[in-house]
A and B are shown apart, each in its own frame.
Chain A
Amino acid sequence: MRLTTKTRKNIGSVVYHLFVIALALFVFYPVMWLIASSFKSHSEIFTEAHSLIPSELRWENYVTGWKGFGRTTFATFFKNSFIITFASTFGQVASSALVAYGFARVNFTGKRFLFACMIMTMLIPGQVLMIPQYLLFNALGWVNSWRPLIVPSFFGVPFFIFLIMQFIRGIPYELDESAKIDGCGVYRIFFYIILPNIVPALITSTIFAFYWKWEDFLGPLLYLQSAELYPVSLALRLFSDPAAITDWGAMFAMSVASLIPVFILFVLFQKYLVEGISTTGLKG
């Protein structure tokens, strides 16, 4: 009796793992295919379209792809992406931390109403506002510069404000109280008590902000005209234009290259990412 249950359990376990691995291979196929294609020769991309093993590793695809188009290389596009992403990420996280502290710990008149406003804006998608925001930045003369992509980041992001607030709420009030008794004001409490305690939330926010900015396409598409200002996302779109493309291997190579920073970040900070998704998802 005991043996049969054990065998049944084992069979169940084998079936389970086979099933999950098969599913994982299925889900992973597109990614592996993209990487494989980036090493294939032009003709092989079309004759052996589905194969995951290129007949030879053509690193030249990366070399030719890196040259970019016009007179701008991907070195410029990557540099642009990094500048935009770093500046914007810093702004988003720093401003969101301040706002989160204000909402979570300071009592001021009108707080409940303003907090409700902030939660509401989480539900308003940015795409709905693209016309008037474009007109605003156009009126300011900011079009064809990075300013529309960076400056608004310094005004807090509701999603991150909310995420950081959840963390601040987990810090015991006694810490604030004892600091108050020692003569600390709200500002000092923020910098010396709260800030060191919300580092995980700040890291989570940083990673998300980085991802979203790195991938952002609509913003650069609306605001940037000169190729030397393009981030990778926008450059890749032109580079892969089906009407103009000649070197498919190079296009795949640059697609892979654009994902590398994202992937590295994922490997390094996986834990924070998963935690961030879980907490905001739960507390929403």
Chain B
Amino acid sequence: MEKNPSLAPAKPVPRKLRKGKKLKNRNNLAGYIFISPWLVGFLMFTIIPMLWSLYLSFTKYDILSSPRWVGLMNYETMFKYDYLFPQSLKVTFQYAFTAVPLRLLFALILALLLSQKRRGVGLYRTLFYVPSVFGGSIAVAVMWRQLFGVNGALNSILMALGVIEEGIGWLTGPNTAIWTLVALAVWQFGSPMLIFLAGLKQISFSLYEAAMIDGASSWQKLIYITLPMLSPIIFFNFLVQMINGFMMFTQALIITNGGPFNRTLMYVLYIYRKGFTDYSMGYASALAWIMLVIIGILTAIIFKTSSYWVFYETGEGK
């Protein structure tokens, strides 16, 4: 383990190339040598841990004593007695299904605005991307917490404008807390915006020319050309962002810490607490597996329905 396996082929041993049957074998060996870092890592850090956690999900395990087989008990507890399980699922779905569409919408609007050939768009693109550069950093989460705090900047602005008399506890209000997290996600629309911009560049100008000759309005051009041509990219973004949305953790921990009244208890935060606060490793593994299944189903749904709303040019497969 100490020795870095990826460096193994660092000093290639040049062998004389012999033509013939041995070539295939040699290619096999070389191929596996090159992909060996990934292959070993895949087995050690993905497949074996996955199977191990599947086994653990049927046990009671607190690290100190060895795992004890309890059959389906963890899953039974989850679905029958644990009110935090449906709560965290609800919160996570609520978050993902608001934050992701809003973020993509914002990204799309900005991309459409900044794809125009005008002076300064390059600078604008950079500016709008900056919040995403800071991405998931703790500093940004801390900043967000202070912005929305009772004595924070948002209240200060609203009070200066005379909209409110007293500071609102955005983070402690049961109905507002999750929206501060959604707002943070929407604020960081930079990466999908860049992907949309790249996609917009790919759309052939001749399509717009043809539409112009037919007298299409800008709105029609958007609906009948831009959006269909961009749909594969929207699809890709939606899938990736959705999975990211479900995995939200750091911000929920720093900004609201799951509160108030578990209204921002994101699923991963709940897994973390079960595993590393309660040391219920078996139960936490069961929770993780449910999430894996949900992501699998969600991915399948997005892929299956994609043929209805994603347009692929003929002859140019996925």
Residue numbers in A under 8 Å from B250 (CB-CB): 217-218
Contact B142 A215, beta carbon cutoff 8 Å = no
Contacts known (A94-B7, A132-B52); A24 close to B138, Cβ less than 8 A: no
Q: Which chain A residues lie closer than 8 Å to B138 at the CB level?
A: 215, 217, 232-234, 236-237, 240, 255, 258
Q: Give the residues in chain B near A95, CB-CB below 8 Å.
A: 6, 37-38, 41
Contact indicator B291/A183 (Cβ below 8 Å): no
The interface-forming segment of A68-76, A152-160, A197-205 is: A152-160
Known: A98-B37, A99-B34, A266-B130. A255 touches B118 (CB 8 A): no
Of chain B, the residue at the smallest CB distance from A236 is B138
Q: CB-nearest residue of chain A relative to B290?
A: A128
- Distance of A20 Cα from B193 Cα, bound (Å): 14
Q: A243-281 CB contact bits vs B (8 Å, 1 = yes)?
A: 000001001100110110011001000100110011101
From DSSP, what is the main secondary structure of chain A's interface residues?
helix
* A127 at the B interface (CB under 8 A): yes
Q: A98 contacts which chain B residues (CB < 8 A)?
A: 6, 9, 34-35, 37
Could you mark each residue 54-84 of chain A with 1 if its beta carbon is under 8 Å from any beta carbon of chain B, else 0? Answer: 0000000000000000000000000000000
In the bound complex, residues from chain B placing their C-beta under 8 Å from that of A123 are 243, 295, 299
Contact, CB under 8 Å: A108 / B137 = no
Complex interface bits, B1-31 against A, C-beta within 8 A gives 1, otherwise 0: 1001111010011111100000000011011
Which single residue of chain A is at the shortest CB-CB distance from B15? A185
- CA of A49 to CA of B125 in the docked complex: distance in angstroms? 29
Label chain B's interface by main secondary structure: helix
Separation in Å of the A48 CB from the closest CB of chain B? Answer: 8
Asked if A284 is at the interface (CB within 8 A of a chain B CB), the reply is yes
A33 to B148, CA, bound (A): 12
**B137, A187: Cβ atoms under 8 Å?**
no
B169 at the interface (CB under 8 A from A): no
Q: Between A and B, how many residue pairs show CB distances below 8 Å?
A: 284
Q: Which residue of B lies closest to A211 (CB)?
A: B135
CB–CB B198/A135 < 8 A: no
Choose from A17, A102, A135, A282 the contact partner of B195 (Cβ within 8 Å). Answer: A282
**Closest chain A residue to B139 by CB distance?**
A255
Across-interface contacts of B275 in A (CB, < 8 A): 130-131, 134
Identity of the chain A residue whose Cβ is nearest the Cβ of B3 in the assembled complex:
A154
CA distance A259 to B142 in the complex (A): 12
Within the complex, what minimum Cβ distance (angstroms) separates A77 from chain B?
11
Answer whether residue B297 sits at the interface, using C-beta atoms and an 8 A cutoff. Answer: no
Q: Could you say which of B114, B137, B145 contacts A258, with CB atoms under 8 Å apart?
A: B137
Give the chain A neighbours of B240 by CB distance below 8 A. Answer: 284
Cα distance, A16 to B120, chains bound together (Å): 11
B6 pairs with A91, CB closer than 8 A: yes
User: A138–B118 contact, CB under 8 A?
Assistant: no
Q: Judge whether B137 and A215 touch: CB under 8 Å.
A: yes
Residues of A contacting B6 in the complex (Cβ-Cβ under 8 angstroms): 91, 94-95, 98, 154-156
Complex Cα–Cα for A170 and B52 (A): 40
Taking CB as reference atom, which chain B residue is nearest A121?
A: B46
Is there an interface contact between B118 and A13, defined as CB atoms closer than 8 Å?
A: yes
Chain B 204-262 interface residues, beta-carbon cutoff 8 Å to A: 233, 236-237, 240, 243-244, 246-247, 249-250, 254
Contact of A152 among B7, B41, B142, B152 (CB under 8 A): B41
Q: Is A124 an interface residue (CB 8 A)?
A: yes
Q: Knowing A108-B31, A131-B281, A262-B134, say if A187 contacts B12 (CB, 8 Å).
A: yes
Within 8 A of A (CB), among B25-76: 27-28, 30-35, 37-42, 44-46, 48-50, 52-53, 56, 63
> What is the chain B residue whose CB lies nearest that of A281?
B195
Interface string of A1-41 (1 = CB under 8 A from B): 00000000000010011011001100110110110010000
Say whether A28 contacts B127, CB under 8 Å: yes
Q: Which residue of B lies closest to A19 (CB)?
A: B113
Please determine whether A27 and B127 come into contact, CB atoms closer than 8 angstroms.
yes
Contact B28 A109 (CB under 8 A): yes
A107 on the B face (CB < 8 A): yes
CB distance from A128 to the nearest CB of B (A): 5
Beyond A91-B6, A103-B35, 19 extra complex contacts between A and B, CB < 8 Å: A17-B120, A28-B131, A30-B187, A33-B153, A95-B37, A102-B32, A108-B28, A118-B38, A121-B46, A128-B295, A133-B45, A155-B41, A188-B12, A279-B198, A281-B194, A281-B199, A281-B233, A281-B237, A282-B198
15 CB < 8 A contacts A-B: A31-B130, A33-B147, A34-B143, A46-B151, A124-B292, A135-B52, A151-B1, A155-B40, A161-B38, A185-B17, A186-B34, A218-B249, A259-B140, A263-B134, A281-B237
